[in-house]
Amino acid sequence: MKSLFFKVFIKQHTKLFVHSLGVLAVSYLLASCSEGTGKSASDEQQISVPVLELTSRNIQVPQTYISDIQAVQFVEVRAKVEGFVDQIFVDEGEFVKKGTPLFQLSSFEFSEMVNRANARLFQARTNVQAASLEVERLRLLVEKDIITSTELELAESRLAVEEAGVAEAQSLVNNAKNGLSYTTIRAPFDGIVDRIPFKTGSLVTPGDLMTNITDVSEVFAYYKVNENEYLSLMRRQMELGSPNLSDEKLTLILSDGEVYPYKGVLETMEADFEQGTGSIAFRVRFPNPDGLLKHGASGNVMMTNNLDNVFLIPQKSTFEVQDYNYVYMVSENNEVKVRSFRPLKRFDIYYVVEDFEEGQKIVFEGIQQVRDGQLVQPQPITDQEAYQSLLLSSL
């Protein structure tokens, strides 16, 4: 336990040490530039820089997740009996209706089994008829006191045996007919025929895969989110007073980057978080009336995450050193101070950040012209002006 504590302690303080070195390096470089001119920051002529005041806001950030697309129905069609492929009624990629014949296996042997079973059933019924007549004859003799009831009881027992034989023979007929029906393989539902590995004349055995039938009138997209994203979604549902996931409409981005024209409905999720990754899988149902999406395809599901009380810092107003991002803050006496931050995520041309305060000011543009500790003449700009400037510079 002690060794684990020291490992965690050393790891955390190592990160702080590296971060401190980064800040010192930035400060040293800035100070060196100032010393190289032979003038202090206060002695230099103050330059005019655009300054942006930070405002906290609640935003919805789009987030994409790699998804696995599956058909609503995907069934492997397998042979149930052994036989040669006599006929193939469909072609690969063909749309078929439920019950449509797909394959015909050799059926002569199964037809003979049906004939034999029917013959046995006929014989069993004849035996029952004969035994029934014998029972009636003996019953008349017993009523006239010509014979004892013992012989009648024996005849009734033989009749019961023959009736059981009829039931057995009927079962054999049913089994034979089922075997015969299995030689004609039919579509289990409306769908598209997949690859057909066996050709006419091939010998198939029970369990051999004949083809797949896929129903892609609708598709499922499965994707995984982490626990924080799951909690954010659940809280949003509770705030809206709608516990149903189906109220969440999602967008699908295809593998070529195009947006799928139909919105999906978030239907359900797994019961447990996945061990090791800490993620949970969601399922979205997308309509597919044009048949564009196929089973096994890939894409990205886009959903929105609500972020409250965050700040948007333009990416062009920052610079990066040793995996840390930095921005120039402007104090009340117009002095520039460098500050590091870790963005939550990128959002368009901004960084989404926390741990800033309402009303703080940053150097919006011209960060190459300022140094730590320098006095500047701030030129305030609005959020709208900053956004327009960012759009123009990104063209």
Q: State the pLDDT at residue 228.
A: 80
Q: Are 63 and 307 in contact (CB under 8 A)?
A: no
* Alpha carbons 49 and 363: distance in angstroms, whole number: 7
pLDDT at 20: 45
Q: Provide the β-strand partners of residue 60.
A: 306
pTM: 0.61
Residue 208, number of CB atoms within 10 A of its CB: 14
Give CA–CA dist 299/256, Å, rounded: 9
Mind giving me the DSSP string for 162-216?
HHHHHHHHHHHHHHHHHHHHTTEEE-SSSEEE------TT-EE-TT-EEEEEEEE
- Is residue 127 within 8 A of residue 93, CB to CB? The reply is no
Determine contact, residues 126/186, Cβ cutoff 8 Å: no
- Give just the sign of the alpha carbon dihedral 237, 243, 245, 248: negative
User: Which tokens is 169 given?
Assistant: 């023979």
Q: Using an 8 Å Cβ cutoff, are 345 and 361 in contact?
A: no
Q: Are 203 and 84 a contacting pair, CB within 8 Å?
A: yes
Question: Which DSSP category does 258 fall into?
Answer: P
Return the pLDDT at 149: 85
DSSP state of 316: G
Half-sphere exposure of 132 (CA within 13 A, CB side): 7
Q: How many CB atoms lie within 10 A of CB 191?
A: 26
- What is the residue type of 94? E
Write phi, then psi, for 156 (nearest 5 degrees): -65, -35
Q: Which domains does the chain have, with CATH numbers?
A: 62-73+216-307 (2.40.30.170), 80-106+183-207 (2.40.50.100), 107-182 (1.10.287)
**What's the CA gap between 269 and 271, in Å, rounded?**
7
User: Is 190 within 8 Å of 96 (Cβ atoms)?
Assistant: yes
pLDDT along the chain (395 residues), means of 10: 35 42 44 45 70 88 88 94 94 94 92 92 92 89 84 89 92 92 94 94 94 94 87 73 65 92 89 87 92 92 81 90 88 91 84 89 89 89 84 70
Can you give the pLDDT at residue 44?
A: 54
Alpha-carbon distances of 164 from 161, 171, 240, 318, rounded to whole Å: 5, 11, 67, 91
CA–CA separation, 283 vs 291, rounded Å? 19
Q: Which residues contact 200 (CB under 8 A, 6 or more apart)?
A: 85, 86, 87, 88
